[in-house]
């Protein structure tokens, strides 16, 4: 008997314009000790699936299912009180995406860890305390005894996620649901957490459902994978099969859209369009509007499930799509000859010190966000600035944009000091693209107004502004019918295109992109990375890309600088730094980056 058996699970949510079909007739089962990955982009319904298993859906959501059983227990008919006592936490544990907000800030770690076990009468206070300490030790928290009396704010994000994992293990659940457990964490920490989860699973024999948007993370840690799109499960099978011999065109497209960290650079095969919300039960293939292999049959009926039980897909095509192949067009590579030696933008000995004053009478604290960094980007070159959170990379970006004054040091643009430059002159030379497309656009302005704002500031007339805004929208691939809509209604990818259009309307020489794709889905990330490299080819832009993702570096950059705690630890050509890093930290970063082990996958699939 499987540990968990789900048949035809559907979840609907009421929205102003009707019912949103978040999950539609989804079926899967899970054996004891097995790890299942549910993979999908945002809006695919993967988190809703997890929440419905834990009865944590929003109160007005409607859940229907033919079967929802855990072992002998029917979870559908179980009353809430019994469910809370027996299943929630006890048989199914859950860890969430955001460790910074999933612990209660006013209670100690110890109290939060032992609370459930004591309340359910599983352990007495002393036994619970002992178990909590040993679990904290197991998940790699140093000095676990002392930590029990601490509060969440005294710990880092990675440590909090470890505490969450230990907390989920307190009641020895048979199933652990991990909803994007490492998305909010740095790469090096992410690798540690995933390794910890795998170890714990082998030790305790618990089953796991890992929800993720990251196929590389999934490939290393799960036995089976299910691919979701728009609430529909499109493909399911052994992880190695799904990744190496994808049956569904969506899985194949997703795999081709991911930049890799090694191998030859190629233009990413972006999936056109965006994920659309489903306001009716699907009567056609949900992926058909974006599918390269769509045919009339896809539009007329929901495709059948095809393929053997251990690897099936919901597609009219009954054949494995070929593994990732190089698309026809080669990627634009800046010609080393055109990249002349003249520095386009140069930071000299930049130091930025922030003063924290805790109060009137306490001594002032100093934080060195950036410490004596010198950086030079040549004309036409793409430089990547790599670092984890807290490394000072965003501060450095803002200093180079002239938005923040450095404590000491100077920035020069084409040999001119940026500090003495008028704002309007600087705006024509250097433009930013920010990480979060949800906060980088004014919600009260229309798309055309946002894009043309820099021209408005220069006193360009209204009709000319509109004409140029349309031109820019065209250039970044935004349909012109969107010119009067508000950012509220647009997807993350569309918003990032608007931000790029606003920067490009200035005709800048330098683009400084601060994590331009880290808030976006994989397929959209590919669109944006391609767009950036197209613009570079077209206009000979000089680009500084700030990122934590080594694959993005490999995809775009010709030179790399690595920042650790405000200091540059390594700088050099991308080919050299990615293959033969000199600094220990760079090596650690590269090692931790999740990647597909294609050879092993192929071997596994063949076996």
Partner 1 sequence: MSRILKHPAQSVNTVEQLPPSPGQLARTRAWSHRGFQIGTGILILLILVAIFAPYLAPHHPFQQSLPNRLLPPVWVEGGNWTYPLGTDQVGRDYLSRLIYGTRVSITIGLSAATIGLLIGVTLGVLAGYFGGWVDHAVSFLLTTQLALPGLLLAMALVFFIGPSLIVVICIIGVLHWTYFLVVTRSATQHIRSLDFVAAARASGASSRQIIWHEILPNLSSKIIVIFTFELGIAILAEASLSFLGVGIQAPTPSWGLMIAEGKEAIFYRPWLVVLPGMFLFVLVIGANLMGDGLRDITSPEEKS
Residues of this chain that interact with partner 1 (CB under 8 A) are: 16, 270, 272-274, 276, 289-290, 398, 401-403, 422-427, 430-432, 434-436, 439-446, 450, 453-454, 457-458, 474-475, 477, 479, 481-482, 484-486, 488-489, 493, 499, 502-503, 506, 527, 530-531, 534-535, 538
Q: Which is nearer to partner 1, 189 or 455 (CB)?
A: 455
CB atoms within 10 A of CB 218: 26
Q: Which is nearer to partner 1, 191 or 473 (CB)?
A: 473
**Which tokens sit at 374?**
């010198």
DSSP H or E stretch at residue 547:
strand 542-547
Least separation in angstroms between residue 543's CB and partner 1 is: 15
Q: Which is nearer to partner 1, 319 or 467 (CB)?
A: 467
Cβ atoms 447, 473 nearer than 8 A: yes
Whole-number CA gyration radius for the chain: 26
Determine phi and psi for 2, rounding to 5 degrees.
-70, 155
Q: Which is nearer to partner 1, 265 or 426 (CB)?
A: 426
Determine phi and psi for 269, rounding to 5 degrees.
-90, 90
Compute the distance between CA of residue 349 and CA of residue 399 in angstroms, rounded to an integer: 12
Least separation in angstroms between residue 477's CB and partner 1 is: 4
Q: Which is nearer to partner 1, 460 or 602 (CB)?
A: 460
Q: Which is nearer to partner 1, 61 or 450 (CB)?
A: 450
Q: What is the dihedral of CA 533, 536, 542, 545, to 10 degrees?
A: -20
Question: How do 35-39 and 207-212 pair as beta strands?
Answer: parallel
Cβ atoms 489, 478 nearer than 8 A: no
Classify each residue of 586-607 as buried b or exposed e, where b means 16 or more C-beta atoms within 10 Å of its C-beta: beebbebbbbbeeeebeebbee
Question: How do 542-547 and 382-386 pair as beta strands?
Answer: parallel
How far is the CA of 229 from the CAs of 181, 269, 274, 320, in angstroms? Answer: 20, 18, 11, 18
Cβ atoms 175, 92 nearer than 8 A: yes
Tokens 């089976």 -> residue: 224
Least separation in angstroms between residue 486's CB and partner 1 is: 5
Compute the distance between CA of residue 607 and CA of residue 605 in angstroms, rounded to an integer: 6
Least separation in angstroms between residue 327's CB and partner 1 is: 10
Least separation in angstroms between residue 521's CB and partner 1 is: 13
Classify each residue of 270-301 as buried b or exposed e, where b means 16 or more C-beta atoms within 10 Å of its C-beta: bbeebbeebeeebeebbbbebbeebeeebeee
Q: Which is nearer to partner 1, 31 or 471 (CB)?
A: 471
Least separation in angstroms between residue 497's CB and partner 1 is: 8
Q: Which is nearer to partner 1, 200 or 535 (CB)?
A: 535
Q: Which is nearer to partner 1, 239 or 491 (CB)?
A: 491
Least separation in angstroms between residue 152's CB and partner 1 is: 23
Cβ atoms 68, 77 nearer than 8 A: no
Nearest to 221 by CA among 386, 36, 377: 36
Least separation in angstroms between residue 485's CB and partner 1 is: 6
Least separation in angstroms between residue 385's CB and partner 1 is: 17
Contacts of 435 (CB under 8 A, 6+ apart): 514, 515, 516, 518, 519
CA neighbours within 13 Å on the CB side: how many for 587? 5
Least separation in angstroms between residue 213's CB and partner 1 is: 19
Q: Which is nearer to partner 1, 212 or 431 (CB)?
A: 431
Least separation in angstroms between residue 447's CB and partner 1 is: 11
Contacts of 197 (CB under 8 A, 6+ apart): 165, 176, 178, 181, 208, 210, 221
Q: Which is nearer to partner 1, 86 or 445 (CB)?
A: 445
Least separation in angstroms between residue 210's CB and partner 1 is: 30
Least separation in angstroms between residue 436's CB and partner 1 is: 6
Determine phi and psi for 235, rounding to 5 degrees.
-155, 145
Cβ atoms 507, 428 nearer than 8 A: yes
Q: Which is nearer to partner 1, 359 or 479 (CB)?
A: 479
Nearest to 426 by CA among 385, 456, 464, 454: 454
Contacts of 448 (CB under 8 A, 6+ apart): 465, 466, 469, 470, 473, 483, 484
Least separation in angstroms between residue 59's CB and partner 1 is: 15
Least separation in angstroms between residue 542's CB and partner 1 is: 16
Q: Which is nearer to partner 1, 263 or 272 (CB)?
A: 272
Cβ atoms 404, 397 nearer than 8 A: no
Q: Which is nearer to partner 1, 77 or 489 (CB)?
A: 489
Helices and strands: H and E segment counts in the chain: 21, 23
Q: Which is nearer to partner 1, 475 or 577 (CB)?
A: 475
């Amino acid at each position: 008997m499987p540990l968990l058996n789900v048949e035809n699970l559907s979840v609907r949510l009421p929205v102003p314009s009707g019912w949103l079909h978040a999950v539609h007739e989804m079926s899967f089962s899970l054996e004891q000790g097995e790890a299942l990955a549910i993979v999908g982009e945002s809006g695919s319904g993967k988190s809703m699936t997890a929440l419905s298993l834990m009865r944590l859906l929003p109160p007005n959501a409607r859940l229907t299912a033919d079967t929802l059983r855990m072992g002998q227990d029917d979870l559908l008919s179980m009353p809430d009180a019994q469910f809370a006592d027996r299943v929630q936490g006890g048989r199914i544990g859950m860890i969430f995406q955001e460790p910074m907000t999933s612990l209660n800030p006013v209670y100690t770690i110890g109290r939060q860890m032992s609370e459930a076990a004591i309340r359910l009468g599983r352990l007495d206070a002393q036994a619970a305390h002992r178990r909590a300490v040993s679990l904290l030790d197991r998940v790699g928290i140093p000095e676990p005894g002392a930590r029990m009396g601490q509060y969440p704010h005294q710990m880092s994000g990675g440590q909090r996620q470890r505490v969450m994992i230990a907390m989920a293990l307190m009641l020895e659940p048979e199933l652990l649901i991990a909803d994007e457990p490492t998305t909010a964490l740095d790469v090096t920490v992410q690798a540690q957490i995933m390794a910890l989860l795998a170890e714990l699973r082998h030790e305790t024999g618990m089953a796991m459902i890992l929800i993720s948007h990251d196929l590389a993370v999934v490939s290393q840690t799960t036995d089976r994978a299910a691919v979701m799109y728009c609430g529909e499960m499109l493909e399911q099978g052994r992880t190695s099969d799904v990744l190496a011999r994808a049956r569904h065109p969506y899985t194949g497209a997703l795999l081709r859209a991911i930049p890799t960290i090694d191998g030859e650079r190629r233009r990413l095969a972006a999936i056109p369009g965006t994920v659309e919300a489903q306001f009716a039960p699907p009567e056609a293939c949900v992926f058909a509007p974006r599918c390269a292999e769509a045919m009339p049959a896809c539009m007329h009926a929901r495709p059948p499930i095809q393929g053997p039980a251990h690897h099936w897909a919901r597609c009219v095509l009954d054949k494995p799509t070929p593994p990732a192949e190089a698309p026809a067009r080669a990627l634009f590579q800046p010609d080393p000859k055109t990249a002349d030696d003249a520095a386009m933008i140069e930071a000299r000995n930049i130091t930025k010190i922030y003063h924290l004053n805790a109060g009137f009478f306490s001594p002032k604290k100093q934080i060195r966000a950036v410490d004596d960094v010198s950086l030079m980007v040549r004309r036409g070159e793409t430089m990547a600035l790599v670092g984890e959170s807290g490394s000072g990379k965003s501060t450095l970006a803002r200093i180079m944009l002239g938005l923040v004054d450095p404590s000491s040091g100077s920035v020069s643009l084409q040999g001119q000091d940026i500090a003495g430059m008028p704002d309007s002159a600087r705006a024509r030379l250097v433009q930013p693209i920010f990480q979060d497309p949800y906060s980088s656009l004014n919600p009260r302005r229309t798309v055309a107004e946002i894009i043309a704002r820099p021209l408005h500031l220069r006193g360009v007339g209204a009709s000319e502004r509109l004409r140029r805004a349309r031109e820019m929208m065209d250039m970044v691939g935004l349909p012109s019918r969107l010119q009067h809509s508000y950012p509220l209604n647009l997807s993350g990818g569309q918003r990032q295109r608007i931000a790029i259009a606003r920067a490009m309307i200035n005709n800048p020489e330098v683009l400084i992109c601060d994590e331009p794709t880290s808030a976006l889905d994989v397929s959209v990330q590919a669109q944006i990375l391609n767009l950036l490299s197209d613009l570079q080819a077209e206009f000979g832009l000089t680009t500084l890309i700030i990122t934590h993702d080594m694959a993005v570096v490999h995809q775009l950059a010709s030179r790399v600088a690595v920042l650790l705690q405000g200091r540059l630890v390594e700088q050099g050509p991308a080919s050299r730094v990615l293959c033969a890093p000199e600094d220990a930290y760079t090596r650690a970063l590269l090692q931790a980056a999740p990647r597909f082990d294609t050879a092993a996958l192929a071997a596994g699939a063949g076996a």
